Structure 1
Amino acid sequence: MGTEVSIAKLCMLAGKIMLKSGAETYRVEDTMNRIAKTYGMEDAQSYATPTGIHFSIDFSEYTNFMRITNRATDLHKIAEVNSVSRKIAAGELEINKAFSMLEHIDQARLTFPKWMQIIAAAFVSGSFAIMFGGTWPDFIPAFIAGSVGFAGMLGADKLVDIRFIAEFIGSVIIGVVAILFMTNGLGASLDKIIIGAVMPLVPGLHITNAVRDLIAGHLIAGVSKGVEALLTAFAIGAGVAVIIGFI
C-alpha cells in the first residue's frame, strides 16, 4: 500500500507542476497515466481541469484530488517534467528519486526575472508595431509603451491578484503612454503603436491550449480556457477603449 501511495503522490506532483505551468490538460493526464503505467499501475485513472486534478491508481480505488488556484506560463518547468517522465518510462529512475527531482522542479524559480521580462516585452512591442505595418518612428513609442504597460500589469497583478484587472490596468497605461507620444509629435500611427504595445499581454498560449484541448476531446477544459482567453482579450480591449474614449 505504501508503494501505491508513493505512485499516486508522484503522479499528482507531476500533474500539479504541469497544470500550474500552463500545460494542456490532455498532456497532464497523459503524463500522469504514463508514469503510473511504468510503475505497474495499468488501470490508473486521471482527470484534469484547469482548476483541479483527480487521480486514482485504479478505477475501483479511492481518488486523490488537488485544487489548482494559481496558474502561470512556465514552459521550462513543463519541459523539465517531461524530461523526468521520459526517464521514468525508460526505467532510469526509481520512485523516490523521481519524486525528489519533481519536488526540486516544483520549488525552483525558473522564470526570468521581472526586469528581463519587461525588456523583452519592450522589444516585442516595438517589433510588432513594425510588423503590423507601422513605420520606424512608431518603434520607440511602442517600445516604451509596451515596457511601461507590461511593468504596470506585473505590479497590478501583485497588488490585486486578479489577472483580468491587472491586464486592464496594463492596457490603460499603454493607451495613456501612446497618446502622450502622439500629442507630442512622436510616432506616426497611434493604432500601430497600441497594437504593438499590447501584444505581450495577448493570451496566445491560452488560445492555443484551448484549441488543442478541444481537438483532443477535452471539452470542459477547452471551453473554460477559451473563455479565460476571451475575458483577457476583453480586458485588454476595454482598457485601451476607455482611454481612447476620453480623447
Structure 2
Amino acid sequence: MENQANFTYKIMEVCLLAGKIMLVSGAETYRVEDTMMRIAASFGIKQSHSYVTPTGIIFSIEGSEPTKTKLIRIMERTTDLEKVTMVNAISRKISGGDLSVQEAYELLEDIEMAKPTYSFMVRLLSATIASGCFLIMFKGGWGDFFPAAVTGGIGFLSVVYFHRVIPIKFFAEFLSAFIIGLLSFLFIKIGAGYQLDKIIIGSVMPLVPGLLITNAVRDLMMGHLLSGLSKGAEAFLTAFAIGSGIAVVFTFL
C-alpha cells in the first residue's frame, strides 16, 4: 500500500513538473492541462484533474485511496517554445510506453535545468535585425534601417536590464519604450533618420506581446475564460506601458 502511494505521488510529481515547464515556457493553458492528464492516464491513473492559471497549477489524482492534490505557484514566465516541444516529445514517449516514471522525471528535470536554446547575444542580435526588418515591412525607407535596428537592439537590452533591476514588467517596458522614443528622436535630430514614426514602430516590435495575445485568444476559444482574460489583461498592460513610454517622449519633445 505504501509503495503504491509513493508511486502515485511520483506520477503526480512528473505531471506537475511537465506542466510547470510548459506553462513557464509560454504554452497555452489548455495544452498544459491536456498534457498533464495524458501523462497521468499513460501511467495508469484513470481519474485525474488539472486546473491551470498563468500563476499556478492545481493537480489532483483520485483513486481508492484518499484523493491527492497538490498546488504549485508560477512566479515568472518567459518564452521558450523549444522546451514546450521537448516536453510534448516526452509525453508522447510516455504514452507509447517507452519511459518509466523515474526516467520521465529525470528527463524533465534536465529540461527544466537546461539553459535557453539561444544565448542572450543571439537574442539581442535577432531583436536588432528584426527591428530594421519590421521598419521595411511597415513601408519605411532603407535609410532608416540602421537607426531602427540600433534603437530596437538598445530597447531590447533595456527591457532585459530593467526587468532585472525592477522585477515589475510594466516599469521595465515603460522605461524601455521611453528610451526607444528618445533614441528615435535623436536619430532624426542629427539627420541620421528620416521617418520618426516608422523608426519607433520598427523598434518597439520586439517588445510587443505577440505570444501573450495569441495564447489569450486560443485559451478563450477553448473555454478557459479566466486564463484567457488574465493573459489578455497582461498583454494590454504591456501594450499600455509601451505606448505610455513613447507618449511621454512626444509630450516633452
Offset of 1:71 from its aligned partner?
0.6
Within 5 A, what are the aligned runs for 1:144-183? 144-183=150-189
Instruction: Work out which of the residue numbers 190, 197, 208 in structure 2 matches 1:202.
Output: 208
Unmatched tracts of structure 1, length 5 or more? none
The CA distance in 2 between the partners of 1:197 and 1:111, in whole Å, is 24
Paired amino acid for 1:128:
F
Most deviating of 111-120 and 233-242: 111-120
Offset of 1:62 from its aligned partner?
2.8
The CA distance in 2 between the partners of 1:234 and 1:5, in whole Å, is 43
The CA distance in 1 between the partners of 2:156 and 2:177, in whole Å, is 8
Give SS of 1:46's match: strand
Within 5 A, what are the aligned runs for 1:38-49? 38-49=42-53
Give SS of 1:63's match: strand
Offset of 1:110 from its aligned partner?
2.2
2:219 counterpart residue number: 213
The CA distance in 1 between the partners of 2:167 and 2:117, in whole Å, is 18
Offset of 1:72 from its aligned partner?
0.6
The CA distance in 2 between the partners of 1:43 and 1:164, in whole Å, is 40
Give SS of 2:62's match: coil
Within 5 A, what are the aligned runs for 1:234-245? 234-245=240-251
Deviation per CA, 1:199-240: give whole Å up to 9, x if none.
000000000000000000000000000000000000000011
2:122 counterpart residue number: 116
The CA distance in 2 between the partners of 1:123 and 1:211, in whole Å, is 28
TM-score scaled by structure 2?
A: 0.96
Matching of residue 9 in structure 1 with residue 26 in structure 2:
no
The CA distance in 1 between the partners of 2:13 and 2:222, in whole Å, is 26
Unmatched tracts of structure 2, length 5 or more? none
Give SS of 1:181's match: helix
Deviation per CA, 1:29-64: give whole Å up to 9, x if none.
000000000011111111100000000112861311
2:30 counterpart residue number: 26
TM-score scaled by structure 1?
A: 0.98
Within 5 A, what are the aligned runs for 1:131-150? 131-150=137-156
1:78 counterpart residue number: 84
Paired amino acid for 1:119:
L
CA RMSD in angstroms comes to: 1.0
Most deviating of 103-112 and 32-41: 103-112
The CA distance in 1 between the partners of 2:155 and 2:77, in whole Å, is 21
Offset of 1:92 from its aligned partner?
0.5
Paired amino acid for 2:111:
I
Give SS of 1:71's match: coil
Paired amino acid for 1:214:
L
Offset of 1:197 from its aligned partner?
0.2
The CA distance in 1 between the partners of 2:27 and 2:252, in whole Å, is 39
Give SS of 1:112's match: coil
2:199 counterpart residue number: 193
The CA distance in 2 between the partners of 1:205 and 1:164, in whole Å, is 17
The CA distance in 2 between the partners of 1:171 and 1:209, in whole Å, is 23
Distance 1:170 1:111, change over 3 A: farther
Give SS of 2:68's match: coil
